A and B are shown apart, each in its own frame.
Chain A
Amino acid sequence: MFVHSRSQRWSRIISFMALAIVLCGSPVLVSARTAQDSSGGILRIHQLLYPETADPQKSSFSHEISFLVTNYEGLTRLDTNGQTSPAAAERWTFNDDGTVLTFHLREGLTYSDGSPLTADRFVYAVQRACDPNTAGDYQYILFDIVGCQEFASLYAEGDDATPAARDDAAAFGAARDAVGITAPDDRTVEITLVQPAPYFPSVAGLWVFFPAQQDLIEAGGDDWWTDPAKQLGNGPFQVTRMEQDQLIALEANEHYWGGRPKLDGIELVYVSDSAVALEAYTAGDLDIMQPDPAQYPAIQSDPVLNEEFLKFAGTNTLVLSFNLHEAPFDDQKVREAFAYAFDRETWCEEVNNGDCVPTLSWIPEGVSGFVETDAFAFDPDAAKQALADSTYGGPDALPPIEYHFIADIPEERPRGEWIAGQYRDILGVEITLVPVEQAAWVRSISDPENYPPMTQVGWFQDYPDPQNWLSLLWACEAFFATPAGYCNPEFDALTQQADQDLDPDTRIPLYEEAHRLLLADAFAVVISNQANVFLVKPEVTGYTTTPSDGEWPGEWASPLTLDVTR
C-alpha cells in the first residue's frame, strides 16, 4: 500500500525544534490518574493524517486503510502470524485448474446493525472496484478476475478495441455483468480468474473487497464516506463519528461473527504534529502514539517513555535503486561495488536513529519467498575489487553520478550526504546530491526516460505472498522494473510459472529461486526494513503485532483482544 511521506513534512521541521526544547526542559511529568481498574474502555490512538478518502474501493494509503480494516472486513483477513485466514468466508476452494475460486460465507453473517450480509454485497464491491467511473488506485489488483480489466478499460482507447461511449448504458451493463464474480446463493461467492492465481485468497481480504452497501453509497453521493451512518460496516468495530482532521470514533460491533471486541470503542485522534502528540501522550490524553524518528533519542533517554517504546520490523524493504538503462549502472560490477560499499548497520543505527533493521533480502523475513543470504554484505575490499573488475577499471573513469532525494523531507539531505560520503571514502567516487520536489520525484521514478541515476525507493507489502514482491514489481513489464530498466527473462519465466502453481510445495521454491536471481543481478542495493515504532501505555494489553501493523500495534490481527485498563 502507499505510505505518505509528505505526512511529516511540517511536523518534522517543528519536531526538531521541540526536540531541543524537550531535551533541555524539565523531566517529563506523568499526570496522576485516579486508580480505578476497569478494562474495555475507549482506546485512544494517535494518527498523523486524516483520510483523503475512506472509500473502500478508492482508498490506497495506509492511514486510510487502518480505519477501513477496523470498520469493515473482507472475505479473508490476516492472522497473528501474518497469514491469510478465514474472515467473512469460513472456507474457500479452487477448482482443479485453479481458475475458479469459491468462497463459502459464514452462516448468519450480519452488518453491525444486525441486517444480513449476503454474498451479493461482495459482488457489488468487486464490480464497483472494477468500474471505470470508480477508478480507484487499487483497481488493477483485481485484474486477475475475468472481465475486470476490460470493464475498467471500457472507455479507454485500446490497440484493438474501440472505446464505448460514456452514455452507452447497454455496453456499460454488459461489461459490468461480464466481470467474473457471481453469487450463486446468499452464502457463496464465485470468482473466475484469468489464470490460476493461488495468492488470490489473500487479495480477497483487501479493502477493495469490503462490502460497503450500494444503496447507502448511491444515496450519499460522491462524499458518502464522510457520513458515519452510510459507513455501515461488518468489521469488529462500527464508526459512529467522523470529524475531518480531528477525530474518528468507532464502537464495538455487537454483531461481529467473532464475538464482541473487548474494547467499548476506539478513537482515532488526528494530530499531525509529533511534538504536540508526544506532549498529549505524556499527559495521558493518548494511549498509543506514532513518534517521529527525530524524537527517538529524547524518548530513549527518558526512563518512563523508554519502557513504553515499542519497535518491530515492518513488511517493507528499502533499496537504493539504480537507473539500469544508463552508464555506469548498466554495468553489473559497478552495481556490485555500490552494494558491497553500503554499511547497513551504521545506516540504521546511527543515520536513522535505529528506525530500521538492516537486511540483504528483498523479501522481508517472515514472508514466504524470503531467502537467507549474505550476498553483497558490507565489505569495502570486495567493493573496491568489484569496481576494479568493472569495464571502468576504477573510480576515475566513471561518468558523473547523481543521487536524487526528496527535498521536502528535511532528513533526506543528511542521509544523502552520508551515502555520498561513504562512496567517496570507500570507492573514491564523487556523487552529486540532487534535491527534487516530492511530486516531481514520484513522477520521475515511474518514468523510464527520467529515472534517477540513483535514488531510494521502498515497497510496503499489500498481501503476504511472494507474488506481491516479485512478479508484480520486478518482471520486465512491472511497476518497478520498467522505469528502472530491470529485465531478466529467466526471472520472468520462473515467476510466471510460480504465479500459476497451486501447490505451495513447488510454488514457493520457484519464487525463492527467482528471488535469488534478482539478488544476484544486484538489481539494487538492498538496505533495510523500516521499523514500525510506537509509544504504548502499559495499560494497553491484548495485542499481537504483525509486520503489517503500520498504524498501531494489533491493527490487523488483534481487534477483538485489544484492551485498555484504566
Chain B
Amino acid sequence: MIGFIVRRVVWLVPVLLAVAAITFALMHRAPGGPWDRQKPIPAATRANLDAKFGLDKPAWINPAAFAAAREQGRINPVALGRAYLDSQFFAYLGNLVRLDLGPSYQARGTQTVRSIIGDKFPVSAKLGIVALVFAVLVGVPLGVLGALRQRSWADQLTLAVSTAGVAVPSFVTAILLLIFLSRQFHVSPLRRPEAWDGFGRAYLLPGVVLSLGVLAVIVRLTRSSLLEVKRQDHVRTARAKGLGEGRVVTRHMLRNGLIPVFTVLGPAGAELVTGSIIIETIFNVPGLGREFVDSIAARDYSMIMGTTLFYAVLVALANVVVDVGYMVLDPRIRVG
C-alpha cells in the first residue's frame, strides 16, 4: 500500500509537467497580454514591466543566449544548456521546483501568487468541506430511503429534489435564497470580513447552495446502487439468517452500495474545495475561485499557471485518496 501511494505521488511529476506545458502553450497562444490597457502603456514602461517579470525572454528556448555563450568561448555543457533553456517556460519550472510561483501580474507584482493562494484557498477549502459534508450527510440517507421505499411518496420526493438540484443553476438558488432570507427574516445579505475567519456560520448558506449539485448526484447514485445490491444473493442470505433490517442495510447493503458513491466523491470533493466563482461572487466569499477566473481575463500568466497547477495537484491527490479508500471499503479490490 505504501509503495502504491509513493508510486502515485511520483507519477504526479510528469502529470504536472504536462499540465504546465499545455497551460503555458494555450495561454501564450491567446491574443492579448497582461499589460494591455485600453490606453496603451508606453514602450519604455512596457519594456520595464517585461524585464521585471521576465517576459523579455523567449517563451520556450533561447538560441540567442546559447549562441552568445558559445561566442564567449564557453564550452561547459551545463552553462551552455542553461543559456539554451534561459526562457520563460524553463525559468518558471526552475522557480516551481523551489515552490516559487512568481508575482501576480494583475497586482503589478505587489503580491505573489503563493501568498494569494495561501490567503484565499483556506476559505474556499472550508466552504468546500462544509458543502461536501452536507452533501454526504443528507444525500446518502435520502438515497437509502429512496431505495428502501422504492416508488413511495418519499422516493418520489427525493427524486424530485435531486432532479431540481441538478437542473436549477446555483446562481438562481443562491440569489433566491438570499433575497428570501433578507426579506422574510431580515438576514443581511452582507457579512463582515471577520465572519470568514474560523468555521463561522457564514459558511452555512453558501456551503448548502454549493453542495446542491453534488448532493443530487449522491442521492441518485446511492439510490440506484442500493436498488441493485438489494436484489443480490448475499442480501437475501442475510435476511434469511434472520438479521435485523438495520444490520442488513448498514453491514451488507451500504458497504457494497457505496463504492460508486465513493468514486465520485474524490473528483467532486476536489471541485468543491477549489471554489466556485458563482457562489463566491454572490455570497462575497473571499475565495480562490474568483481569482482563478479573473486571472484568465487579465492574462495574469503566473496566476493562471499557479492556480491551474495547484488544482491539478488537488485533483490528483483526491484520486489517490479514492483509490486507497477502495482498498479499505472492498478488500477484493487491488490497485497498483
Contacts and interface: CB of A to CB of B under 8 A. Distances in A.
Given A21-B179, A439-B36, A135 B52 contact: yes
B281 A6 contact: no
B110 A55 contact: yes
B48 A152 contact: yes
Interface string A156-189: 1100000000100000000000000000000000
A153 B48 CA distance: 8
B178 A279 contact: yes
A525 to B, nearest CB: 18
A157 B47 CA distance: 9
B281 A223 contact: no
B42 interface: yes
A2 B51 CA distance: 23
A325 interface: no
A327 interface: no
A270 B36 CA distance: 25
A285 interface: yes
A443 B41 CA distance: 11
B299 interface: yes
Given A58-B108, A442-B37, A275 B175 contact: yes
Interface in A1-55: 2, 6, 9-11, 13-14, 17-18, 21-22, 25-26, 29, 31, 52-53, 55
Q: Which of A244, A246, A459 has the most CB of B within 10 A?
A: A246
A60 interface: yes
A438 B281 contact: no
Interface string B283-300: 110100010011001110
B107 interface: yes
B190 A17 contact: no
Contacts of A396: none
Contacts of A22: 179
Nearest to B31: A440
A52 B33 CA distance: 17
Interface in B175-211: 175-176, 178-179, 182-183, 186, 188-190, 192-193, 196
A479 B49 CA distance: 19
Contacts of B40: 446, 479, 483
B282 interface: yes
A140 B41 contact: yes
Given A136-B45, A279-B182, A285-B190, A439 B281 contact: no
A222 to B, nearest CB: 5
A246 B284 contact: yes
A156 B44 contact: yes
Nearest to B277: A10
B43 interface: yes
A439 B188 contact: no
Interface in A129-146: 132-133, 135-137, 139-140, 143
A457 B38 CA distance: 8
A98 to B, nearest CB: 24
A354 B31 CA distance: 34
B111 interface: yes
Contact of B37 (A13, A60, A271, A286): A60
Q: Which of A10, A224, A226, A247 has the most CB of B within 10 A?
A: A10
A166 B284 CA distance: 42
Contacts of B188: 280, 283, 285
Interface in B15-52: 30-33, 36-45, 47-49, 51-52
B45 A439 contact: no
A172 to B, nearest CB: 13
B42 A140 contact: yes
B256 interface: no
Nearest to A26: B183
Contact of B32 (A155, A442, A459): A442
Interface string A472-496: 0000000100010000000000000
A334 to B, nearest CB: 25
B99 to A, nearest CB: 18
Q: Which of B41, B43, B44, B103 has the most CB of A within 10 A?
A: B44
Contacts of A58: 108, 110
Given A31-B186, A156-B48, A223 B110 contact: yes
B115 interface: yes
B110 to A, nearest CB: 5
Contacts of A31: 186
Nearest to A271: B284
A117 interface: no
A152 B49 CA distance: 11
Nearest to A152: B44
Nearest to B176: A21
B62 interface: no
A222 B294 contact: no
B11 interface: no
Interface string A242-284: 0111110000000000000000000001111101100110010
Contacts of B172: 17
A225 interface: yes
Nearest to A140: B42
B286 A244 contact: yes
A10 B40 CA distance: 26
Contacts of A222: 103, 109-112
B108 A136 contact: yes
A156 B186 CA distance: 59
Interface in B135-158: none
B38 A2 contact: yes
B115 A276 contact: no
Contacts of A438: 32, 297
Contact of B294 (A6, A157, A247, A457): A6
Given A11-B281, A439-B298, A442-B37, A17 B171 contact: yes
B278 interface: yes
Nearest to A458: B38
A445 interface: yes
B228 interface: no
Contacts of B330: none
Nearest to A143: B42
B299 to A, nearest CB: 5
Contacts of A17: 171-172, 175
A45 B293 CA distance: 26
Contacts of A269: 190
A71 interface: no
Contact of A246 (B48, B186, B193): B193
B263 interface: no
9 contacts: A136-B45, A139-B44, A140-B45, A222-B111, A226-B111, A272-B284, A276-B282, A279-B178, A280-B182
Going nearest first, the 3 A-B pairs with the smallest beta carbon separation are: A439-B32, A243-B193, A135-B48
Interface of A: 2, 6, 9-11, 13-14, 17-18, 21-22, 25-26, 29, 31, 52-53, 55, 58, 60, 132-133, 135-137, 139-140, 143, 149, 152-153, 155-157, 166, 222-226, 243-247, 269-273, 275-276, 279-280, 283, 285-286, 408, 437-446, 457-459, 479, 483
